[in-house]
Amino acid sequence: MNKVYKNAREACADIPSGATMLLGGFGLCGIPENCILALRDLGIKDIVMISNNCGVDDFGAGVLLQTRQIRKMVSSYVGENKEFERQFLEGELEVELVPQGTLAERIRAGGAGIPAFYTPAGVGTAVSEGGLPMLYDKKGNVIKASEPKDIRVFDGKMYVLERGITAQYALVKAWKGDRLGNLVYRHTAANFNPMMAMAGEITIAEVEELVEVGELDPDHIHTPGIYVHRIFQGETFEKRIERRTVSKS
């Protein structure tokens, strides 16, 4: 099987409008920048995006918000994007907020074939009680809210049922990869990428360096190639810092 594609546009060309996809990265670190731009240029619409965040207004997944290509976001952190806030409050964007650890575990569980699990995170809050607004109309009225989730007690402690997450596509970014799809992540970029690579029906990996089979140390491979269906070497990586904080000299 030839997994190598020329570029992001070729690797993403058959993704249909309305697709559900996992988008790797944490903040702006380790995001598949080339795939995001390819989705924009291909004009794929009504995307259900599952990602730790939605980037910033002009970078990351925020690029797809600007062009109105995302229909629903499933995220744990959305605080750096003003366009996200505007679309949400205007009823133009459906949002499902998930505690960050729960989001990570839902994706890991989905990739491992686990349909659901119980967690104490969110018990007694809007996350479990169905009060978390997901969709507003233009007057600010809630027109859709999440359903109450199953609560059970284990060893005297309350837990809420959460479903595992899988998606039609997973778009991930790695430091190095070989032609069989084996991936190595670098430092903080090993965030949501490894678990998302496992949870996609079709996983597309963009890498900074594409090497020949045998060049990667087997002990250093984070994602085995069996999980990766398409791989390409990215053309550009801006690697923008989301919020720069420096000390006074």
Cross-strand bridge partners of residue 118: 161
Going from N- to C-terminal start, the domains of the chain cover 8-115+164-233
Element (H, E) at 85: helix 82-89
User: Torsion over CA of 186, 187, 192 and 197, rounded to 10 degrees?
Assistant: 20
| Eight-class DSSP state of 35 | H
CATH class of the domain at 8-115+164-233: alpha beta
- pLDDT (tens digit, 9 = 90+) per residue, 121-162? 989 888 887 655 555 555 666 666 667 889 999 999 999 999
CB 107 within 8 A of CB 196: yes
- The answer for 147, left when phi > 0, alpha when psi is -120 to 50, beta otherwise, is beta
Residue reference for tokens 């119980």: 118
What gap in Å lies between CA 98 and CA 45, rounded to an integer? 23
Q: What is the pLDDT of residue 15?
A: 97
CB 128 within 8 A of CB 148: yes
Average pLDDT for runs of 10 along the chain of length 249: 93 97 93 96 96 90 94 88 88 89 96 96 84 58 72 96 96 97 95 97 97 95 97 89 80
Q: What is the pLDDT of residue 138?
A: 58
Query: Per the structure block, which two tokens stand in for 118?
Result: 């119980």
